[in-house]
Structure formats: C-alpha cells, structure tokens
Structure 1
Amino acid sequence: MNQYEQLPDIFNVAAYFIKGNLHKGYGERIALYHQDDTYTYRKVSNEVCAAAGLLAELGLERENRFAILLPDSPDFVFAFWGAIWLGAVPVPINTACSLDDIKYILQDCRAKILLTTQEWQEKLSPIQSPFLRNILLTDGDNSFRTLASSFPQERPPAQTSPDEPAFWLYTSGSTGRPKGAIHLHRSMVFCAEQYGKATLGLHQDDITYSIAKMPFAYGLGNTLYMPMAVGAASILSDANNAFDIIADIHRYRPTILFAIPATYASILAVQDIAPLDASTLRLCVSAAEQLPKSIWQRWRTTYDIEICEGIGTTEFLHIFLSNRLGECRPGSSGKPVVGYDVRIIDENSVPMPTGEIGNLQVGGDSLMLCYWNRHQETRQVIHGNTMRTGDKYLCDADGYFWFMGRKDDLFKVNGQWVSPFEIEDVLLQHESVLDVAVVPESESGENLTQVVAYISLKAGFSESAELEESIRRFAKMQLPRFKAPKKIQFLERLPRTSTGKIHRKALLKASQLVQ
C-alpha cells in the first residue's frame, strides 16, 4: 500500500509536502533556485506560514478563492501553499492568457484576493469583479513578502479533508472560454506517487527545470509538488526562448528537463550557434502536444538522451500515459501510468480492437471533481469515475498508445482519413522547417478538402517560391500523394495557446478568411 492509499481523514496537502520534508530532516536542503537566490525547505516553510498569516488577516477564509497572476517565482510558491494551508483555494492564472480571459477568470472564480505585479495591475485596470476585496502586489513599497514578514513563521494548518477542493486550474480555452477544473487535496499526492516516483523515479538529488509554468497543470507538477514529494529542488525561471533556456540549463545544471515539443525543436535549431551542454540531464520529458519522431531521433543523436513523451490533461492534473527510459517508442504516448485505467472505445463505449482508432477514455484518482459552474460540460466528459478526453488514439499489440489527433483534428482527403501529425513529422525533416502545423481547407468553389501546411522557417532561410517547391517535392517523396500539402503558407511564428500548444482553431479560421 502506497502513501496515497493511507491518507488520514484530516489531511492538508500543503502541510503534507512542506512539513513532511522537515520531518525527514530535509530542512536545510535547497528546495528552490530563483535567479541568484536559493531557498531551503525550512525557509519555504517559514514563508508559507507567514503568507498564510497575512492572507488570514486580510479576511481570506476557508474555501474562499485566491487568484495568483504571476510568473514562476518564490512569491507564487509561498502564496499558493499559504492559501491551501489556510484551507482557502488558490487559482493560478497563466500570464500568457489574453487580458480578456484573465478578466473572465477573475470574475468566474469569484476570487476574494488577487496577488500580482504592478505592471499587471495597470494592464487589468479597472477590474470589474464584485467579489474582489484586495489586490496584493509582489513589488513596490508594501510588497506581499514585506507585509507577510510581520506574521509568525509557525501556524497550524487548516484541518481539511483529502476529498475537499484544494485548488483550481483553468483550461487553456482554445475551444471557448477557459473552464475551472476543481482539484482535491488528495490529487497532487496521487500524481506525485504514481508518476513522479513510480514512473520517473524522482529522488532527492534531482533538480527539475520546467518550461511549462505553474499555472499549467504540467508545470505545477514539474516545479511545485513532485520535487517536494521527494525532497528535490526545482528551478523557477521565466525563460521563453531557446537561448535563455540553454543559459538556464548551463547555470543551474538541472537533472530533469520538462519541456514541450517546440522547446526541443528550438534548442536543436540553434545547436550550431548556442550548443547545449546536456551532461547533467539524466531525463528529458515532453508533453502538451505530440512530439514528432524526427525531433525525438535528432535529440537522441545529438545528446544521447531519450525524451520520455507522455500525455496528461488539466482535468487529470498531470500525465497518465508515459514512455519510460529504455523503453521509449518515438511518436507514441507510451503506456498507462500505474493507477490509471486507459482504454480506446467507440461511440457506444465498446472497446476498440488493437490497432484501430477510437476515443480515449481514462480513469484515475487524480480526476477533477468537476468544472466550476459548467454542469452540462462536466456531464459530457465525465462518466462515472472516467473521462473521455476528446482525443483520438489507437493502442498497438505491445500496449503502446498512439495519438491520432483531437476528435476534430482528423480530416478526410479523397475519402481517406488523414492525421496532421504524420505530415508534420515528415515536413519537420526538411532542412528549412522549424515549426509546422497542417490543417484542412476546402478548395474554392469545390466540395473537396486539400492539405495546407503552415510553416515557420529556421534562421538563415527565407520565404520564396523555390523553397516552397523544394518542401513540396520533399513531402511527395515520403508521403502518399493525397497527403502531400497542396498549399504552403509561411508564417514568422505559429499561433499557440497559453499552454504552448499549436492553436489549430486559429489557423483554420485564418485559412477560411483567405479563401
């Protein structure tokens, strides 16, 4: 029986992770790296209790929502755990969201207090929320940390239940308004035990570095609670380009890199001018969207490290399908993480035969309680203790799961199903292509579908008719003729959601406007 199955009736997840490390004798171990500063587990504990004291003084009560709009930083960590310590409910908001979505989230979650920066406060002014009572700032004369410093560094945690809400995370909103997924105190423990420890083998000497930020479910696990589950350290950084990421890796020497496919592609693209020293990395992980086989193979060839690809969702908090070191199948999402029931079913919930495409259904104890104020949408995806993710998958004879696209990503050309990822993987092998997204487009005046590729180019290459023809010929040599792009559109940068995924809906709209 693991620790998750032994949770007591009174359980506060902030106290579990923070005090747990002190009880293990890890008080002087480094928990966080941020710029030139380091924070030990004892320092984190003291700051969390002080933050809880300040929030309580300002009237934040049990079950009240508390919005955090910050880059990854110590203030984020202390405030997040401090709110949970009180029994309140932190709601991280991704700074990559649009202003409109941020304002929507603040109203939708009914946050009583907002923690942010002066810059963001000015951008959001005025904030039209009747529920908001206080705005705390991390900079300026009366900063959050300054105000919290006058409160005791010891405070008993709220006597919460493992089955009550601990925090909310909002979905990226690529198919509509962001939805608030409500997660319980027990959820983080399950993910840390089943994925962090059992699948990745995290240990106390690890240093994690995540490109995904903490308001993103993937980043919250990578940076916040999974390292804490084993007494490891994490790096807090706001790097957002290949050069800054490489500089961070050289500076902090992490052992684990959590990234997205675009990160690995961009690091490889600058290898000649900014070579990465990957000697301290023992593990690389990719999630958020499909990792092309070509990127996996180039990374392995360049750095002699496998990328363990996986898939998770905001609703399940973290990864439930994963490859393992030494057992990776490039292009696949791997096998189920222990503790998750993953199946491929048809529209009538009947299991699909091996090798046939169907709908992904997942069950596991990290599943959200519900979407806030979205009863019908909750009912549409949650069936008993399982969820239908909206992804199309197949499972091969060896038990590996292969992503075929979202239910609306697949399209037919000449009566045959096309997965954009197969075409994208081929195009990424062309010497000029940095990033690519394939979408369908109806031919003008015809009820026919053609393949359109949106491409951003590597440094040193420029858009031209000759280059377009070279890419088209390259695709025709490696793909059936009906899958080769009929049209190529060059973009300086592909649109992405706040969580780093290619925004296919935006490209489809752009394609329709061009016609």
Structure 2
Amino acid sequence: MSADSYNAVTWLLDRNVEEGRAEKLAFTDTVSELTYGGLQKQSRRLANLLRQLGVRREERVAMIMLDTVDFPVVFLGAIRAGVVPVPLNTLLTSDQYAYVLADCRARVLFVSEALLPVVKDMLGRMPDLEHVVVSGKEAHGYKKFSDEIAPESEVFATAATHPDEPAFWLYSSGSTGMPKGVRHLHSSLAATADTYAKQVLGIREDDVGLSAAKLFFAYGLGNALTFPMSVGASTILNSERPTPAVMFALMNKYHPSIFFGVPTLFSAMLNDETLKHERCGSRLRICTSAGEALPESVGNAWKSRFGVDILDGVGSTELLHIFLSNAPGDIKYGTSGRPVPGYNVRLVNDAGAEVPDGEVGELLVDAPSAGEGYWNQRSKSRRTFEGHWTRTGDKYIRDADGRYTFCGRSDDMFKVSGIWVSPFEVESALITHPAVLEAAVVPEADPEGLLKPKAFVVLRAGANTAGLHELLKEHVKQKIGPWKYPRWIDVVDSLPKTATGKIQRFKLREHN
C-alpha cells in the first residue's frame, strides 16, 4: 500500500501472520477455533464472497451474529474488502432491526441461525437487502455461511483504503430512542489499542481474554478483538447470555488472564448464593469494567474475594473504547480514574466554561478514536462532535488528585433544594445496605411540585422487609447527606437495562 493507504486488517491480522503467529490460537468459541493463519485465509474467502455477491467498496453489510468464530471472519473479511461491516445488537426487536437495516442500507445480512426467527418476517420488506447468509447448522432456505465461504479463494488483494476512510459502523445502544449509526475509521482500532490496551491494561501476547461484553458494541469489540489481536493474544468467545454460572464455567475451563466485565455482572457473580464457592480460574491477573460506573462496594468485594483488581473506566460508542480509567497501581474504587494516555478531557458548565476541581461539569473528550459522526443525523452530529471535542453527555466531578467521579448522565441529574443530586451516588449508597442487590434513582415531584429522589430497588433473596423503607432512607442519610435520601422507594423484581448493562432510567421516569 502507498503511504496514504492503510487497511486496519493489515495491521490487526496480516501483521500477526508475518511475525510468525500463523499457528497461534486467535479465537475459540467452545465449539470451533481459529488460528491467526486460519483467520487470515477465512477473511480472504469472505472478501471474495462479498465480491461474488456484488457488494462494492464502501457499501454496508449488516451482522446480527452471536459471538462465535464466524464473527471475526465476517467483520475482518469485510474490512479487508473495503466494505463496511455493521455489527448489530443481538437483543433488538424485529421493528428495531427493520429500522437499522433500512437506515444503513445493508446489501447483505449475516445472521446467526438462532437469531433468524426474530428478523425472518421482515427481511422481504428491506428494499436494499439482496442476500441473507445464515451462520449455523441450517440455513432455512437462505444462503448457508459455511457452504458459501468454502469454495472461495484464499487469495485476495486487500483494499487500499485510506486511514480516514470509514471501516465499520457501530449503532449506539439506543437507551433513549432508536439507535444512531456511528461511523468509525480504519485508524480508530489501532488508536484504542495503542492507548488503553497498551498503556493502561498492559495486554501481552501470552494473555487469554474473556469478555462478558459482546462483540457487537464498542467495549466488547475492543476487549475481544482489537486488543488481543494487537499483540497476538488469544480470545475465548461466549455465544450464550453472560450469566454468573456461564462466566464462572468458562473461567474455570479456559483460565483467562484478563476478564472484561460490567458492574451488573460483577455484582451478580459476587451475590449468587449457589456460586459462592466458585473461583475465576488459575491465571486471572486483571479485570476491567465499563458500561456503567462500578460501585465502590462491588470493587472492594471482588478484590477481597478473588484477590484481583477491577480497572473501572468509562467509554462510549462514539469514542470506541475507554478514555477514563483506573490503572494497575493507581486504583481508587468509586472513581473512573484518570484520562487514558492519548486522550484529553475537560469538564464544562452549561455556558461552556471549564469548571474547577470539586464542581460538577459535563465531560468532553479529545480522542484519537472518535467517530466521524452519526449517519444521517446531522443535527445530532453537530451537537456531539465539536471539532476535536466530543460531548459524552456524562456529568463528572474532578478531585484535587486529578481523578474523575461519575455523577450521572446529563439528562439524569436533578436538583434538590438547589443542590445537584447524582442518581448514581444515591444508588451506590443504597446497595451498601445488606438487603439491596440493585438500585436505580429518578426524580419525582412532591405535592408542591419540587423534585425529590425516588428509588427503585431489587432486594437480595431472603431480605427482611420489615420497616425496610425507613431503614433505607436513614441509611442513605447517614451515607451521603440528609437531603439526598429517597422520599419514595418501590421494590421491583428487576431494573430495565441496555445490552451493555446501563440502567435505563428514562423508562423508570416514564413509569412514574
């Protein structure tokens, strides 16, 4: 390739083969496995398949695929061809899939057999969709992935793409509406590996990674594909729902050295009474958390039980991975840590002026991995991507040591008696009570029309509910202050969440 040409697959995959890792395990999904050399060959076959199907450079192919070895084949094969893969959340509804497929105008859909029933009835209504390829044992009348790819050539001239050319799209989780397509560039994958993976996580060639977060969204894509491939490491893929039992079983079978989780899962793994004697394999050296701020109590409990730290951080679909993080030897549970090397951050008030230490502000990030905008959403792109800076929509506070603590989403914060209240702070206080497993807090108007905190709590099994409401109110008063306690408390069976584990507080507000 010329000096102004760069294809992400050349760096991610071909480099590993050239450096002697052709026989090194790249991915296993408990049923199949792929070496780096095998993945290179399969990705070339996939690129040739796309050419046979008439897909041209810069056109999109959609992926509704579980985490199996077929996922990196499709994702990397499309990028190799200069075609844009669009991995989609595997938990969407049929209507949401119809919206996204129409929005991205995908020419081809790659779909796992288990997910085909969700989309089958609407596939004929997609005017731009010409081919459906099914990954699995049966294709149910569509093209079968293994049959389609097998006869294709292992020779393919990788597209001479530009480093600033869109390589793939990721759709936002849609926690407040229909998903938005974020366009990411060929250079973005290496940017996340050179910053967080290399300088914070310290990933190594001998690492084996296991990510509870799936490949279809930004956190999981970095964890399970970009980061291990950046150093020639190996990844365990999990196609099942990441329950505590499933994750413990995988950890004890494969003995990962890095476990990438989310706060909800860490808490569930700690609190499942049927799994209280389970361990995390024999090689685990570090864990990471993102998707939602990790409560201090969960981080301390995990370290106490398993002897391994969790590096809590914050990232976003728009910025592709983590940009604020705790680091080995520099961990303070309850905070999101410090800026990842290579990322600049600032906190601003509603007028756009920077706020001093100790004051709440909206977090803006200058990121080498930022997307170039939302597809067909010009006004939202202009509100989010402001030159070098990306608005995260997160409210943070910075202490004198330069650590950042999450306060809530901009649209979740509210004032009580003229003072900002962070739902996350109240939630973190509530879950330190022995009866509470999970909590979510939203504003509710009192009879005078003034906003006060209202809590929704999920109780631990067997919790004593006698006088619980008053006990919880007093508990919060003692923990974080008398004006922040929830005036109303509803006990619920579960909390609404996105696929990334984020609490959908807007649904609780609508419930009110």
Q: TM-score, normalised by structure 2?
A: 0.95
Aligned residue for 1:126, secondary structure, equals helix
Pick aligned residue for 1:263 from 239, 258, 265? 265
Residue 133 of structure 1: CA displacement?
Answer: 0.6
Structure 2 residue 324 is matched with structure 1 residue 328: no
* Pair 273,187 (structure 1): closer, same or farther in 2 beyond 3 Å: closer
Mapped to 2, the partners of 1:251 and 1:271 lie a distance apart of 21
Q: How does 1:247-396 map to 2 (within 5 A)?
A: 247-270=249-272, 273-278=275-280, 279-396=282-399
| Runs of at least 5 residues in structure 1 that lack an aligned partner in the other structure | 1-5
- In the TM superposition, residue 146 of structure 1 has moved relative to its aligned partner by 2.1
**Cα shift readout 1:298-324 (whole Å, capped 9, x = no counterpart):** 111111222111111111111111110
3-state SS of 1:308 partner:
strand
State the distance in 2 between where 1:216 and 1:258 align: 13
Which residue of structure 1 aligns with residue 194 of structure 2? 193
CA offsets, 1:418-449, max 9 Å, x none? Answer: 11122111111111211111111112x42122
Matched, 1:35 2:30: yes
Alpha-carbon contact 2:6-2:163 (below 8 Å) kept: yes
Distance 2:35 2:55 in 1: 27
Shift of residue 284 of structure 1? 0.7
Supply the distance in 2 between the matched residues of 1:321 and 1:256 (Cα, whole angstroms).
Answer: 19
Report which stretch shifted further, 284-293 or 475-484: 475-484
**Residues 133, 144 of structure 2: 8 Å contact kept:** yes
Residue 344 of structure 1 deviates from its aligned partner by 1.1
- Report the counterpart of residue 504 of structure 2 in structure 1: 503
Task: Give the letter aligned to residue 307 of structure 1.
Answer: I
How far 1:378 sits from its partner (Å)? Answer: 0.6
Q: Contact conserved, 1:117 with 1:138, CA < 8 A, in 2?
A: yes
1:137 and 2:139 aligned: no
**1:167 maps onto 2:168 in alignment:** yes
Q: Does the 8 Å contact 2:66/2:112 carry over to 1?
A: no
Query: Whole-Å Cα distance in 2 between the matches of residues 59 and 355 of structure 1?
Result: 57
CA contact (8 A) 2:49 2:149 kept: yes
Distance change in 2, residues 1:337/1:22 (3 Å): same
Residues 32 and 69, structure 2, Cα contact 8 Å, conserved in 1: no
Task: Report the Cα distance in structure 2 between the residues aligned to 1:477 and 1:193, rounded to whole angstroms.
Answer: 43
- Separation in structure 1 between the aligned mates of residue 33 and residue 190 of structure 2, nearest angstrom: 25
Matches of 2:276 and 2:405, distance apart in 1: 33
Contact 1:203 1:230 in 2 (8 A): yes
Looking at structure 2, the residues matched to 126 and 211 of structure 1 have their Cα atoms a distance apart, in angstroms, of 30
Match of 2:511, as an amino acid?
A
* C-alpha distance in 2 between matches for 1:227 and 1:118: 27
Letter in 2 for 1:213: K
Distance 1:479 1:162 in 2: 48
Deviation at 1:7, TM superposition (A): 9.8
Distance verdict in 2 for CA 1:118–1:256, change over 3 Å: closer
Matched residue type, 1:58:
L
Structure 2 counterpart of 1:3: none
| Separation in 1, partners of 2:45, 2:276 | 42
What whole-Å deviation, never above 9, does each CA across 1:207-249 have from its counterpart, x for those lacking one? Answer: 1111111111000000011100000011110232111111111
The answer to whether the 8 Å contact 1:169/1:181 transfers is: yes
Counterparts of 2:44 and 2:508 in 1: how far apart (Å)? Answer: 46
User: How far is the alpha carbon of 1:274 from its aligned partner?
Assistant: 4.0
The amino acid that maps onto 1:135 is: V
Q: CA deviation at 1:345?
A: 1.8
Deviations 1:390-432 (A, max 9, x none): 1111221111111111112111222222111221111111112
Provide the secondary structure at the position in 2 that maps to 1:267.
helix
RMSD: 1.7
**Residue number in structure 2 paired with 1:71:** 66
Give CA-to-partner distance per residue, 1:270-312, whole Å, 9 cap, x none. 2663433234211110111111111111111111222111111
Distance 1:112 1:396 in 2: 49
Higher deviation after alignment, 97-106 or 472-481: 472-481
| Residue in structure 1 matched with residue 228 of structure 2 by the alignment | 227
Q: Deviations over 1:17-49 (max 9, x none)?
A: 111100110111111121143321111111111
1:455 aligned to which of 435, 454, 457: 457
Residues 242, 266 of structure 1: 8 Å contact kept: yes
Distance across 1 between alignment mates of 2:118 and 2:270: 35
Report the AA paired with residue 309 of structure 1: D
Report how many aligned residue pairs link the two structures: 504
User: Which amino acid in 2 is paired with 1:258?
Assistant: F
1:164-202 per-residue CA deviation (whole Å, 9 max, x = no partner) reads: 010000001112221100000000011111111122110
Specify the SS of the correspondent of 2:201: coil
Q: Is the 8 A contact 1:285 1:307 kept in 2?
A: yes
| Matched residue SS, 1:483 | coil
Which one is further off, 268-277 or 147-156?
268-277
Corresponding residue to 2:77 among 71, 78, 82: 82
Residue type matched to 1:46 in 2?
A: K
Judge conservation of contact 1:7–1:162 (CA < 8 Å) in 2.
no
Letter paired with 2:251: I
Amino acid paired to 1:37: S
Equivalent position of 1:109 in the other structure: 104
Letter of the structure 1 residue corresponding to residue 55 of structure 2: L
| 8 Å contact from structure 1 (residues 354, 395) kept in 2 | yes
Q: Work out whether residues 51 and 145 of structure 1, in 8 Å CA contact, stay in contact via their aligned partners in 2.
A: no
Q: Cα gap change, 1:243/1:146 in structure 2, threshold over 3 Å: closer, same or farther?
A: same
The alpha-carbon deviation at position 110 of structure 1 amounts to 0.4
| Corresponding residue to 2:421 among 418, 421, 446 | 418
Any conservation in 1 of the 2:33–2:69 contact (CA below 8 Å)? no
SS at match of 1:137: strand
User: Which digits, 9 at most, give the CA deviation of each residue in 1:347-367, with x for residues without a partner?
Assistant: 333221122111211112211
